[in-house]
Structure 1
Amino acid sequence: MSSYGLAAKLALEKAFRENRAVIWGCFVADRDSEGLHIFTYFKGREWQELGQLLPPRNLPAPHFHDPVLGIISGGLALEETKNFLMGHAVSPELITYRRKTIPRFSGNHAVLVVGAGALGNFVGLGLAFSGFSNLTFMDPDVVEPTNLNRQIFFYEAVGQNKAAALAERLNQHYQTRACGLVGYFGEDTDLTPYNIIIDCVDNFETRVILSEKAKEHGKMLISGGTGVAAGQMITYDPDLDGSTPAELLGLPEIVRQRGSGSYDRNRLSCISQPNPAVVMTNQIVAGLMVDACRQLLAGRRPPNLFYENAAIMR
C-alpha cells in the first residue's frame, strides 16, 4: 500500500522476475475528489493502465491519507489476497472507489449505532478514526467465542454485553465518549438525542422498524448488511424525501409474508447464524457506511452501493 513510486516499482519488478503476485493499493486525490485503487498483479498483467497508477514521486514526500478509505482499501486488499491464495478469481479490473472531497466537520454529531456485532465493530472503528466522539451503541447480545474471528474489539470480553464492551474499547483506545445501551431497538426507542442513525442489525424486522422510525422523526439513516461474500449500503436523507432502506429492499412485504410469529429475538443472535459473514466483507461495507455518514453530514447524497466479491465489477 506504499505511496512511494520507487517501492511500487521494485515490488512489481520482483513479482515479474520471480513469478509472484502483488496486491497493490493506493490512495488518489486531486483538487475536488478522493478515492482509492486496488489491483492484483501477476505475470501477464502488464497493462498500460498500471504505469499510470504508479505514484508520481519515487521517494517519501507528503501524501494524502484518509483512515476510512484505509479501512475500505484494507478490506479489499485482503479479499483479493484471500481469493488469490485460495485459487479463486481475483478482480479482472482495477477496483476503484472515488467521491468528492469531504470538508472537515465537527465530530460532535450524536450518532446511534444499532447492532454491535461484526459490522458494528468496524463502523465504530471508522467513526472513531473520523473524529466522532459522541457515540451510542445498542445491542442486546453478549459476546460469544464464535464471534471473535470477525468482531475485532471483543478480545477478553466473552460473556460481556456487546454494546457496552465496544463502547469501553473505543473509549480506551480512541478517547471517544461512547456509551452502550443493552436492549433491542423498538418502536418505543427515543431518537430525539441523535443526529444520525446507523443500522448494523442482522434481521429484517428491526431494519423495518429503524426505517419507519427514521422517516417518522426525520433522521438520517445509513443501513448496511453483509453476507459471506456480499453486502450493501443504503442511505436515507429525510430532506430529500426518498425511499427508506427497508422500502428500497422490499423488507416490509417480506416481513408481512413471514407472519408475526416467525421471528424469535432470543434465538437470532450471531451465534446461531449458519453462515456468519467473514471479516473482509464487514470491513469493506462498514467503511462504505462511515464514508456515507461523512458525506450525508456534509450535505451530499452518497449513492447506494452493493458489493459482491465474485462480481466482475466489485
Structure 2
Amino acid sequence: MSVSTALHNLPSGMTSRAWNVVVVGAGGTGSALLPNLARLHHAMLELGHPGGIDCTVLDDDTVSETNVGRQGFYPNDVGQYKASLIVNRLNLLMGTRWEARTQRLASADRLTCDLVVGCVDTRTARKTILGAAKRGKVRYYLDCGNETDRGQVILGEVGVRGPDRLPHVGDLFPDLLNPRGDAVDVAPSCSMADALAKQSLVINQAIAVQAFNLLWTLFRTGTLSYSGVFVNLQAGRTNPLPIDPAAWARFGYDAAKCVPPSRKKSSA
C-alpha cells in the first residue's frame, strides 16, 4: 500500500535573508557535511537567494592521527582544532565568513538560529543539542547520527506546535537521547585499523550526502515530501521518512496530539 504524503513548506522568512545555521560537531560527519554546506551557500547565492548560509561551527576537539583519512583532515592538521581548520579553509576557498568556536555546547546553553545540525556520536550530546534548541529560539533540528554502518538523517521542528509540525529525532526515537545508551568504551582508537573496525569508512559521507540533499531540496523546491532518511550500508539500502502522520505513528508518534512516544529505538 502506498503512503500518502503531505508537503512541508520552507518558511517565507528563510527565502528573504541568510539562513542562520549552527553545526555542532566537526568530526566524521561534520567534516563531510560542512564543505557541502559551503556548496549549498554558493548555489543559493547564484540562484538569487539574498544571503545564502551564515554558519557557526562548534567543536572543542583537535585532529588526531587516526582522524586522517577517515575524516576531512590531512597529516599536517594533526593537533589543530577541527572547527577552526574547516571554517578557515572554507572561508579562504569559498569566500564565506563563517565562524568557528572551539568549544563544546554546554548543557545550559541556548541556541538561536534557523537550523541546528547535530553531527555528534553520543546520546548525551544529542540531548544537549535539543535542550539548547528548546531553551533558545530554533526552527529546525537536523540530526545526523550513525553507528558502525548505518544511521539516520532526521529534520524536525523545535519551536513550532501543532499536528503539522515535523517531529524531531527525540519525538520519534527518545532512546537516541537517553545517555544510558551511550557506549561504555569511549576511549580513542589507537590506530586507523582499530577505528575502521568500529565504524565504516563510508558511513559519515553517506549520512552527510543525505543531509545535503535534504537541505538542497528544501531550498530549491521550497518544499519537502520527506523529513528524514535511514541509511543501511550493509544492506545497500536507504529508506525515506515520509511527511505523513501514518508513517510517524509507526514509530509511536501521535501527530494529532503532538505527543512523543514513551519509548522507541531507531531501526536504521
Class of the TM-score when normalised by the shorter of the 2 chains:
0.5 to 0.7
User: How far did residue 199 of structure 1 move?
Assistant: 0.3
Q: Please tell me the residue identity of whatever aligns with 1:293.
A: L
Question: Separation in 1 of the partners of 2:187 and 2:58?
Answer: 14
Question: Separation in 2 of the partners of 1:301 and 1:245?
Answer: 17
Question: Separation in 1 of the partners of 2:225 and 2:138?
Answer: 16
| Aligned counterpart in structure 2 of residue 208 of structure 1, from 127, 134, 150 | 127
User: How far did residue 269 of structure 1 move?
Assistant: 7.2
User: How far did residue 295 of structure 1 move?
Assistant: 4.2
Residue 140 of structure 1 contacts residue 161 of structure 1 at CA under 8 Å; is this kept in 2?
yes
Runs ≥4 residues deviating over 6 A? none
| Aligned counterpart in structure 1 of residue 38 of structure 2, from 102, 116, 128 | 128
Cα distance change of structure 1 residues 107 and 127 upon mapping to structure 2, 3 Å threshold: farther
Task: Name the structure 2 match of 1:251.
Answer: 175
1:189 matches 2:189: no
Question: Separation in 2 of the partners of 1:120 and 1:107?
Answer: 24
Question: Separation in 2 of the partners of 1:106 and 1:294?
Answer: 16
Residue 108 of structure 2 contacts residue 132 of structure 2 at CA under 8 Å; is this kept in 1?
no
Task: Name the structure 2 match of 1:286.
Answer: 208
Cα distance change of structure 1 residues 291 and 167 upon mapping to structure 2, 3 Å threshold: same
**Within-5 A mapping of 1:143-222:** 143-192=63-112, 194-216=113-135, 217-222=137-142
Task: Name the structure 1 match of 2:57.
Answer: 137
1:139-180: CA deviations, max 9, x gaps?
111000100112124442110111111111111222221221
SS in 1 for 2:125: helix
Cα distance change of structure 1 residues 106 and 201 upon mapping to structure 2, 3 Å threshold: farther
Question: Separation in 2 of the partners of 1:271 and 1:286?
Answer: 22
Residue 127 of structure 2 contacts residue 177 of structure 2 at CA under 8 Å; is this kept in 1?
no
1:60-100: CA deviations, max 9, x gaps?
xxxxxxxxxxxxxxxxxxxxxxxxxxxxxxxxxxxxxxx99
SS in 2 for 1:126: helix
Q: Please tell me the residue identity of whatever aligns with 1:201.
A: V
Question: Separation in 2 of the partners of 1:232 and 1:125?
Answer: 20
Question: Separation in 2 of the partners of 1:183 and 1:195?
Answer: 20
TM-score under structure 1 normalisation? 0.57
Cα distance change of structure 1 residues 312 and 180 upon mapping to structure 2, 3 Å threshold: closer
Question: Separation in 2 of the partners of 1:268 and 1:175?
Answer: 37
Residue 186 of structure 1 contacts residue 206 of structure 1 at CA under 8 Å; is this kept in 2?
no
Question: Separation in 1 of the partners of 2:124 and 2:218?
Answer: 25
Whichever of the two has the greater Rg, that structure is 1
1:184-225: CA deviations, max 9, x gaps?
112332322x22100001110010121233344342010011
Residue 231 of structure 1 contacts residue 308 of structure 1 at CA under 8 Å; is this kept in 2?
yes
Residue 226 of structure 1 contacts residue 277 of structure 1 at CA under 8 Å; is this kept in 2?
no
1:96-144: CA deviations, max 9, x gaps?
xxx99x9x96782121110000100111011011125421111111000
**Within-5 A mapping of 1:77-96:** none
Q: Please tell me the residue identity of whatever aligns with 1:159.
A: G
1:230 matches 2:230: no
Residue 116 of structure 2 contacts residue 138 of structure 2 at CA under 8 Å; is this kept in 1?
no
1:115 matches 2:25: yes
Task: Name the structure 2 match of 1:79.
Answer: none
SS in 2 for 1:303: strand
Question: Separation in 2 of the partners of 1:134 and 1:218?
Answer: 14
Question: Separation in 1 of the partners of 2:177 and 2:102?
Answer: 29
